A and B are shown apart, each in its own frame.
Chain A
Amino acid sequence: MKLYDYALSPSCYKVRLMAALIGVTLDIRPVDFHPGCEHRGPELMALNPAGSIPILEDGDLVLTESSAMLVYLAAKAAPQWLGNDTAGRTARVQQWLSFSHRLTASLGAARLHEMLLRPGNIAALREQGIAALRELEAGLVEQHIRGQRFLASDRPTIADVACFPYVALAPDGGVSLDPYPAIRLWSRAVRSLEGFIEMPGIHRLHELTPAPVLKVGEA
């Protein structure tokens, strides 16, 4: 399976992260997105007329939407990540997969504007990003009330992988995550998963040192 990839792209990272979490090896083909704009060159435009990356190739199959790539990887190697065991859960996963595009269009565009000087109305992008974060925070709080740590279930699904990168990188676009305790807990849960990999701007969890044990009279 060949992934047309850019190290700093959160959408490409979704696919790399999914593959790492379920133990699939990808053949990485680096694309000079910045500064070379290779994704708009003839070779990649022929593969994906939308001019975006990632692109995932597996034999005859060419996918250009990251959510479809997550579905494909999970269906192939780890179907429990599809979260499709009940009608409600199936729908919830689809709801968050669609929602993830709003994160890309708001927080992702704010990040590109602030980091790689791409054009955009930064105030409007941040406002839309904050609206999306508030919705995600509310969704995660409801999940906690149901006793579930992840977006659609008590175990991680492709919905979490689809939403995590642009949320975790919100500060790159000047949007703070400080006001969202449920999002921060969820980010911790995602980063604790076995096989988790980081990308620039998303740091791995450093081991917590044990809390000091004080005996009476020591303090």
Chain B
Amino acid sequence: MTRNTMIDGWYPVSLASQLDAHGRRTALMGEPIAVRRGEDGNAQVTGGNGRDLPACIRYGHVWSSLGDPQKPLFAIPEADQPGRRLVEVGVVRVRCSPLRAVENFLDIAHFPFVHTDILGAEPHTEVQNYKVDIREDEDEVWATQVKFYQPQAAKSAEGGITTEYMYRVPAPTCSVLYKTCPPRPAEWDVITLFVQPLAEDLCDVWPWMALFDDETPMTDLIHFQQTIFVQDRSILENQIPRLLPLDPGMEIPTRADLTSVAYRRWLKRHGYTYGAQLVAQ
């Protein structure tokens, strides 16, 4: 058994705003952990054997690691821009591989069928060509120039528009989506999917957003994103095989799946295989 290279990564384990001295019991990659607010106001995370785990608070969440993180949590510079509304969407548990949760987030081809009349609608099902690369300097997967016709792309969108996206995978179980911002065309809305791996086939998903939208009530923003994610949930729980296959042979990707192909290649290159299936069966 090779060492789990994902052990040194940062993972979301709680909403920072809901952290109290009593704390919550949860798990990280099979190990029970406890998360609480310490007397100094900082987050404290304890592992299964009582050892202190690394902890930091960023992007509305508490982050921790079972190992020894070699670098700080990835940066989202836009999150610190003044004027953005930070939306804590809250946790949703899904019985699926944490990697499958991220892969689904990267896919746009399913919009007209799963998020019908919100993020897509027939007959506008075509995924136009877009660019994907694994950026060596940042060590991240990026998909750019992604365009899709959407009937109601965001809560702040009136009617159908062609929305442009950029997708970014800065960590194996996290993705950041940059999306056309209807009220501020020069800026991008930031929508993230932070996934806490509980087991190889079970995860807690913490969506979070940093939007330019001064009009929409906060509860509407939360409900919009929860609606989208729970539409995905039933699909994710029925994907077979449950673990994400990293070797060719199990599935036949199409051109629209370029981001998924790059994501799987990047996972395999780093040995990020917690929640993955290595040899096609």
Residues of chain A touching chain B, judged by Cβ–Cβ distance below 8 Å, are 6-8, 30-32, 34-36, 38, 114-117, 171-172, 174, 200-201, 203-204, 206
Contacts and interface: CB of A to CB of B under 8 A. Distances in A.
A200 B93 contact: no
Contacts of A7: 223, 226-227
A32 B218 contact: yes
A115 B219 CA distance: 19
A8 B90 CA distance: 13
A77 B222 CA distance: 32
Nearest to B115: A200
Interface string B82-95: 00000011111101
A204 B18 contact: no
A172 B88 CA distance: 22
A116 B112 CA distance: 26
Given A7-B226, A8-B226, A115-B233, 17 more contacts: A6-B223, A7-B227, A8-B223, A8-B227, A35-B15, A35-B91, A35-B222, A114-B93, A115-B93, A116-B93, A117-B91, A171-B234, A171-B237, A172-B234, A174-B95, A200-B226, A200-B231
Given A7-B223, A114-B95, A117-B91, A201 B218 contact: no
B119 to A, nearest CB: 13
Q: Is the interface of A mostly helix, strand, loop or mixed?
A: loop
Interface in B217-271: 217-220, 222-223, 226-228, 230-231, 233-234, 237
Interface string B186-219: 0000000000000000001000000000000111
A200 B237 contact: no
Which of A114, A116, A117, A200 is most buried by chain B, counting CB atoms within 10 A of its CB? Answer: A200
A30 B219 contact: yes
Contacts of A31: 219
13 contacts: A8-B223, A32-B218, A35-B88, A36-B90, A114-B93, A115-B92, A115-B230, A115-B233, A171-B237, A200-B226, A200-B227, A200-B230, A203-B234
A6 B233 CA distance: 17
Interface residues of B, number: 26
B217 A30 contact: yes
B154 to A, nearest CB: 16
B200 to A, nearest CB: 17
Given A7-B227, A8-B227, A116-B93, A38 B219 contact: yes
Contacts of A35: 15, 18, 88-91, 222
A172 B113 CA distance: 19
A34 B230 contact: no
B104 interface: no
A7 B89 CA distance: 13
B95 A32 contact: no
Contacts of A206: 113
Given A32-B218, A35-B15, A36-B219, A116 B231 contact: no
Contacts of A32: 218-219, 222
Contact of A116 (B88, B91, B113, B218): B91
A31 B218 CA distance: 10
Nearest to A5: B223
A117 B218 contact: no
B229 to A, nearest CB: 8
Nearest to B237: A171
A30 B233 contact: no
Which of B88, B93, B220, B223 is most buried by chain A, counting CB atoms within 10 A of its CB? Answer: B223
- What are the nearest 8 A-B pairs in CB distance? A35-B90, A200-B230, A7-B223, A30-B219, A32-B219, A200-B231, A7-B227, A200-B227
A6 B223 CA distance: 8
B46 interface: no
B217 A201 contact: no
B125 interface: no
A201 B95 contact: no
Contacts of A115: 92-93, 230, 233
A219 to B, nearest CB: 26
B116 interface: yes
A34 B90 contact: yes
B18 A30 contact: no
B171 to A, nearest CB: 23
Interface in B143-176: none
A184 to B, nearest CB: 15
Contacts of B223: 6-8, 30
B219 A201 contact: no
A200 to B, nearest CB: 4
